[in-house]
Amino acid sequence: MNLIQLFDVSLRLRAAQPALEWQGEIYTFGEIDARSNRLAQALAARGVRQGDRIAVYLANRIEFIDLFLATLKLGAIFVAVNILYRERELGHILSDSEPKALIAAGAVPAAFPTWQIDELTAEGAALPADRPVVIIDGDDAASLIYTSGTTGVSKGAILTHNNFAANTANILTAWQITAADRLLLALPLFHVHGLGNGIHAWLASGLKLRLLERFESGKIGAELLEFKPTLFFGVPTMYVRLMELEPEIAREIGQAARLFVCGSAPLPAQLMQEFEERFGSTILERYGMTETLMNISNPYAGERRPGSVGLPLPGVSLKILSGEGLPAAPGETGELYVKGPNVCAGYWRREEASAAAFTDGWFRTGDLGMREADGYYTLQGRRSDLIISGGFNIYPREIEEFLLEQPEVAEAAVVGMPDRARGELPFAYLVAQPGATIDPAVMEARCRAALASFKLPRGFLQVPALPRNALGKVQKHLLPR
Ligand code: MCA
Ligand code: AMP
């Protein structure tokens, strides 16, 4: 079964029911179906065919959903691009995925054929709302989502219809999501948290969705009070911001809600406890990756253990290998490997990286963790030096490479500094070229122009040398944080 056939329980069977609240308007599932059929016709008229990639550079809006569904209906591949990306980051994704077009609203920071979403929507409005007839298999690619895996080069994880379907079935069952739910979604739709969990759970369950353009801490309280969601998905930074709400407001929001889910970065145990006191609700933490969608989740019915990500989801196999490559004993730290219908088909046009990502059919996560004696899993950091800030991943090497292109920089090391709200913030240590001086303000301005805002180092410190081991490798753990 492909995803559209899965979503038809809502798109067709619940056609007259309210599906989406977006900017004060209410849309039924039938309208969502018709809008995306029209858009699919408009894309087909512009030459989009099965297997083509469609890159989408948009903030959250109803047309993002229309485009996702239209792309799937054509059997094309949806390439979701982070709206915060600048020319360099966007350019890489475009040259790697070779999309038929880049779809955006307004100007884009890349020289590439761009189709304006408003024009496409207008073209679709004049076309029949017939769904295109295309045979799409479960193993066909649905989306490419760019991520760096355990290395620094951004690669497109090939997520198939079956991958998303398996993840959707899992979270619907594991978190008891039904058509009676109301989901407030403030996550960006270009990552798998918002897209793979939020949009898929909505369309497969028939729940009512209120979509926000983005999470704004000054406005989220009013949205929650007004919409009264039963369900909320967030990253830890969002829960830090929710703690700023007045206790009476928090209590009211907590009483209306059935489940708060958190993931994408570690949820501090203390924050979970404080949230429980303030909202009267125990956050359910789960662990996922772009390449695997959701792997491990605290149970809906059992103990939601602070600091732990819980138990493997149905159909997902987990194993932990110690440093010697042997199965780790309970309580022993090792690297997590995953196998299951949720694991991606590899990386787009990168045979070597795809082969390296799997060992005997098991996907190597790069995450370190242990299994407790009662089967609960706890994450304990990562094999790579990945920084996660506000739930967005930052690969230090990418920033370091940009810094090394600057004429006054001889060496660069970027590390994550602990931060209460964002989890971590990037910080750069720089060694100047002989005779040169590094001006932090100049570095900041150049990084701001070239990199997504969340990657901007919060400090640029000039040091005489970087600590290196005997092999010359930078020892980042020796840099002050
Ligand atoms: C953040 N910014 C944005 C957005 N989000 N700009 C436009 N649209 C957005 N959606 C920019 C702001 O302009 C600002 O840039 C900076 O980020 C911080 O924003 P601020 O308003 O101060 O927000 P905050 O209160 O600190 O909260 C940030 C946030 C954001 C809303 C929590 O970090 C966020 O949406 N995170 C979610 C990331 C996510 O979905 N990750 C899932 C990846 P400036 O500093 O220049 O002013 S998928 C994944 O990891 C796996 C699979 C998993 O397990 O889910
Ligand atoms: P991404 O590459 O954006 O898909 O991010 C995936 C990474 O986010 C994982 O490999 C983990 O390191 C991290 N992650 C996701 N969920 C959690 C969690 N609940 N706790 C700690 N880390 C997490």
pLDDT at 469: 83
pLDDT of residue 383: 79
Instruction: Tell me, using a 6 A CB cutoff, whether residue 394 lines ligand 2.
Output: no
Q: Whose CA is nearest to atom 20 of ligand 1?
A: 216
| pLDDT at residue 149 in the model | 66
Q: Is residue 437 part of a domain?
A: yes
The span from the CA of 284 to the CA of 303, in Å, is 9
Separation between Cα atoms, residue 27 and residue 44, nearest integer Å: 24
Pinpoint the alpha helices (H) of 61-157: 62-73, 87-97, 117-125
CA 69 to centroid of ligand 2, rounded, Å? 26
Radius of gyration of the chain (CA): 22
Instruction: Tell me the C-alpha distance between 230 and 384, whole Å.
Output: 37
Q: What is the structure's pLDDT at 151? A: 66
Confirm if 425 and 434 have CB atoms less than 8 A apart: no
374 located within any domain: no
Tokens 């429980």 found at? 276
> DSSP letter at 126?
T
288 Cα to the center of ligand 2, angstroms: 6
User: What pLDDT, on the 0 to 100 scale, is given for residue 470?
Assistant: 75
- Backbone phi, then psi, for 374, in 5-degree steps? -95, 10
Mutate to test the pocket of ligand 1, among 85, 212, 214, 294 (most ligand atoms within 8 A of CB): 214
Give the contacts of 421 (CB within 8 A, at least 6 positions apart): 237, 240, 241, 390
Which residues does 317 contact at the CB level (< 8 Å), separation at least 6?
338, 339, 340, 362
In this structure, is residue 406 part of a structural domain? Answer: yes
Contact 72, 43 (CB under 8 A): no
Distance 390 CA to ligand 1 centre (A): 6
Query: In sequence order, what are the residues at sequence separation of 6 or more whose Cβ sits closer than 8 angstroms to the Cβ of residue 28?
Result: 14, 15, 16, 17, 18, 19
The per-residue DSSP string of 289-324 comes to ETTTEEEEE--SSS---TT--BEEPTT-EEEEE-TT
What whole-number distance in Å separates Cα of residue 90 and Cα of residue 63?
A: 20
Q: Establish if 116 belongs to a structural domain.
A: no
DSSP state of 467: -
365 lines ligand 2 (CB under 6 A): yes
Any idea of the CA torsion for 85, 87, 89, 90, to the nearest 10 degrees?
Answer: 80
Burial class of residue 152 in the structure, from the number of CB atoms within 10 Å of its CB (0-12 exposed, 13-18 middle, 19+ buried): middle
Taking residue 55's Cβ as centre, other Cβ atoms within 10 Å add up to 26
Report if residue 449 sits inside a domain: yes
Closest ligand 2 atom to the C-alpha of 393? 3
DSSP 23: T
Which atom from ligand 1 is nearest to the alpha carbon of 197?
Answer: 55
> Which ligand number lies closest to the CA of residue 378?
2
236 lines ligand 2 (CB under 6 A): no
Cβ–Cβ under 8 Å, residues 146 and 57? no
Cβ atoms within 10 Å, residue 449: 11
319: nearest Cα among 367, 280, 283: 367
Q: Of all atoms in ligand 2, which is nearest to the CA of residue 191?
A: 3
CA-based nearest residue to 260, from 287, 233, 229, 298: 233
Q: Choose the residue to mutate in 81, 171, 367 for probing ligand 2, maximizing ligand atoms within 8 Å of C-beta.
A: 367
Percentage helix, strand, coil, to 5, in the chain?
35, 25, 40
CA of 265 to the centre of ligand 2 (A): 5
The atom of ligand 1 lying closest to the CA of 214 is 10
Backbone angles phi, psi at 432, to 5 degrees: -80, 155
Ligand 1 site residues, Cβ closer than 6 angstroms: 59, 83-84, 187-188, 191-194, 214-215, 217, 235, 237-238, 241, 263-264, 288-290, 390-392, 421-422, 453-454
How far, CA to CA in Å, does 292 sit from each of 51, 341, 365, 469?
22, 9, 9, 34
pLDDT at 152: 66
Residue with the nearest Cα to atom 5 of ligand 2? 289
Q: How far apart are CA 284 and CA 3, in angstroms?
A: 26
pLDDT tens sequence across 13-65: 999 999 999 999 999 999 999 999 999 999 999 999 999 999 999 999 999 99
Does residue 420 fall inside a structural domain?
yes
Q: Is 393 in the pocket of ligand 2 (CB under 6 A)?
A: yes
Beta-sheet strand order (sheet of 231-234): 25-28, 18-22, 208-211, 182-185, 231-234, 259-262, 284-289, 293-297, 311-312
Is 267 a domain residue?
Answer: no
pLDDT at 303: 98
Distances in Å between the alpha carbon of 275 and those of 70, 176, 239, 260, 267?
Answer: 39, 22, 8, 10, 11
Q: What is the CATH number of the domain that holds 439?
A: 3.30.300.30
CA distance 311 to 318: 9
- Whole-number Cα distances in Å, 401 to 14, 154, 410, 430: 50, 13, 11, 12
Q: Give this prediction's pTM.
A: 0.94
**Are 200 and 161 in contact, with CB atoms under 8 Å apart?**
no
The number of the ligand 2 atom at minimal distance from the alpha carbon of 286 is 19
**Quick one: which of 134, 107, 97, 104 has its CA closest to 121?**
104
CA of 44 from ligand 1 middle (Å) equals: 33
**Which atom of ligand 2 approaches the CA of 366 most closely?**
10
pLDDT in tens, the chain (481 residues): 999 999 999 999 999 999 999 999 999 999 999 999 999 999 999 999 999 999 999 999 999 999 999 999 999 999 999 999 999 999 999 999 999 999 999 999 999 999 999 999 999 999 999 999 999 999 999 999 999 866 667 999 999 999 999 999 999 999 999 999 999 999 999 999 999 999 999 999 999 999 999 999 999 999 999 999 999 999 999 999 999 999 999 999 999 999 999 999 999 999 999 999 999 999 999 999 999 999 999 999 999 999 999 999 999 999 999 988 899 999 999 999 999 999 999 999 999 999 999 999 999 999 999 999 999 999 998 878 899 999 999 999 899 989 999 999 999 999 999 999 999 999 999 999 999 999 999 999 999 999 999 999 999 999 999 998 877 778 898 998 8
Reading the block at residue 397, the tokens are: 């090497």
Counting the structural domains of the chain, the total is: 1
Residue located via tokens 């979970």: 272
Q: What is the pLDDT of residue 382?
A: 84
Per the structure, the complete domain to which residue 403 belongs is given by 387-478
**Rounded distance between C-alpha atoms, residue 365 and residue 164, angstroms:** 18
Look at residue 153 and tell me if it is in a domain: no
E strand residue ranges, 59-202:
77-80, 101-104, 114-116, 141-147, 155-160, 182-185
Residue 91 identity (one-letter amino acid): G
